[in-house]
Structure 1
């Protein structure tokens, strides 16, 4: 690939994507070759357990712009994007998933928009989410509305991790000290000039989604706790509400006692214990999320570890022995 800095880096996080790779190659290579700019296709293999890495190595033998960065273990989607940001060399960087739900053909429009309008960020915004289930569309709207309130800045609705950013945005993100960053919140929060390009989201080209309900919930928790102390204030208000509710119970119990209408029973006791207990557990859970983030930060463990980068030829044979069949 030489030492020349490419105009464009396309960062693609992948995890167990062997089924979609042939289609991905067929669509991505002619598109990038036809852009008329120098580029690198930087694929971050997030510790895949299938043949993803070996297929990428095989494709790279006659595709010099294809660059493989392999993480030592599965570190998660956002961590893989972080690794791509750290390693990307282009003046512009596009992030896109491998499943082809975000059409690669839109990359040309992202690049043209950035240049024509002189902006640092161009978001790919889904104009049609009919390929998603009703539940996913509904929860996505709730997520973006909540994030707009917590972050205190407008976040493009239906804009996930398909975007183009300039080199100065990449440098600004890489300079941030925190780990576990959520890119769909970090980049709008930085406040660089931005624009949008709308497109129709397609069905997954092949394979199955790796973003299950547990991972989506984890993303939501990370988004909230990384960007706002509002849940801690919510815990305070819930504690105040619980205290007022307890006072109301005491006043009610005294009033019933003084009027001689008290009837021995367990309903009011169970109700009071259940309400106060639920509030306490919720507050403890919210506090636990923040304590966990502080604990992880104090350990200073890296978010990801890069085991191999095809830009560096050292260790290439060792990697082939590790992931290619003998």
Structure 2
């Protein structure tokens, strides 16, 4: 099979028909065999019914359904583990990333022998100012933490070769952040720029809480810098406390002591906040160790249409 397209889906009943109307002509025009893996990430609306109807009308569509909402990155993982194509494209269903770019990605990968082709957002004017500001801050932060190899403004719209997919699925990651993991592999890569469009229908499934979670996973999963930051912050706190102690001692020797509790109160609050911050940073790493020791799966598949279709073909033959 030449191409697999992995599409995480969560409560997208309104946009799914629009997405299929744009994606299918692109894939049909490429030539060669392909499949589309729609990974239903525990949707609670009519998304499963819409996907089942689409599957009956689109033979290349394959539906993988997760038992519960496991998160965007884990839904991507489920799709990557089940993709069978020599090249695998991951794309969101909201049509902010245009499916027409897939043809350009595939041509670039095949003509230049690339294992990775990133979709880079050259124009984000359709995003809100807050979204652009937070995205810019995120990419500046992760480039500083994970290295300059991380393309700026490259999300999860990318093409991967079979070599890259096998390398990714072989990693023992419990909280994968693919926009950092893929550059970390160091495989030959290229970029295709495009203009980010408005969401075709529905509302964003990535609120501020999930954005913060992604940023925390990105930092704690790729760097020990927060631990070192806590160490340096503790050292700075100790130095500040020594300076305060020296100032209090000097005031006592000069007889310029003013009774009061302000300085003591400020020092106690500062040290308490410092301790809580350091404990919180340590807790993030301990939580990752705890999750790894548990060994629980990041997602649970309850339905894979490929298995159903294969069973139907066997029944017909017998």
For normalisation by structure 2, the TM-score amounts to 0.96
1:280 aligns with 2:312: no
Q: Secondary structure at the match of 1:289?
A: helix
Please list the CA deviations of residues 95-140 of structure 1 after superposition, one character each: whole Å capped at 9, or x if unmatched: 0000000000100001011111111000000010111122221221
Please list the CA deviations of residues 138-191 of structure 1 after superposition, one character each: whole Å capped at 9, or x if unmatched: 221221121122113421000000000100000000110121110000000010
Further displaced range: 275-284 or 64-73: 275-284
**TM-superposed deviation, 1:280:** 1.1
1:316 & 1:48 partners in 2: Cα distance? 25
Residue correspondence of structure 1 range 249-288 to structure 2 within 5 A: 249-288=244-283
User: Which residue among 76, 81, 86 is the counterpart of 2:81?
Assistant: 86
2:310 & 2:237 partners in 1: Cα distance? 61
Contact 1:153 1:189 in 2 (8 A): no
1:127 & 1:316 partners in 2: Cα distance? 45
Further displaced range: 263-272 or 71-80: 263-272
1:89 & 1:36 partners in 2: Cα distance? 17
User: Which residue among 173, 179, 185 is the counterpart of 1:178?
Assistant: 173
TM superposition outliers: structure 1 runs of 4+ over 2 Å: 314-317
Q: Secondary structure at the match of 2:175?
A: coil
**TM-superposed deviation, 1:315:** 11
Q: Secondary structure at the match of 2:308?
A: coil
For normalisation by structure 1, the TM-score amounts to 0.93
1:245 aligns with 2:261: no
Please list the CA deviations of residues 264-312 of structure 1 after superposition, one character each: whole Å capped at 9, or x if unmatched: 1122112211221221111111001111111111100000011111000
Residue correspondence of structure 1 range 110-121 to structure 2 within 5 A: 110-121=105-116
User: Which residue among 77, 90, 95 is the counterpart of 1:95?
Assistant: 90
User: Which residue among 44, 51, 57 is the counterpart of 1:56?
Assistant: 51
1:12 aligns with 2:3: no
Please list the CA deviations of residues 178-236 of structure 1 after superposition, one character each: whole Å capped at 9, or x if unmatched: 21110000000010010000000000000000100000000000011111111000000
Matched residue pairs, number?
312
Q: Secondary structure at the match of 2:100?
A: helix
Give ranges in structure 1 of 5+ residues lacking alignment. Answer: 1-5, 318-326
2:147 & 2:218 partners in 1: Cα distance? 13
1:294 aligns with 2:285: no
Residue correspondence of structure 1 range 158-169 to structure 2 within 5 A: 158-169=153-164
Please list the CA deviations of residues 230-250 of structure 1 after superposition, one character each: whole Å capped at 9, or x if unmatched: 100000001101111111111
Contact 1:153 1:188 in 2 (8 A): no
**Taking structure 1 as reference, are residues 269 and 227 closer, same or farther at Cα in structure 2, changes over 3 Å only?**
same
**TM-superposed deviation, 1:38:** 1.0
1:135 aligns with 2:130: yes
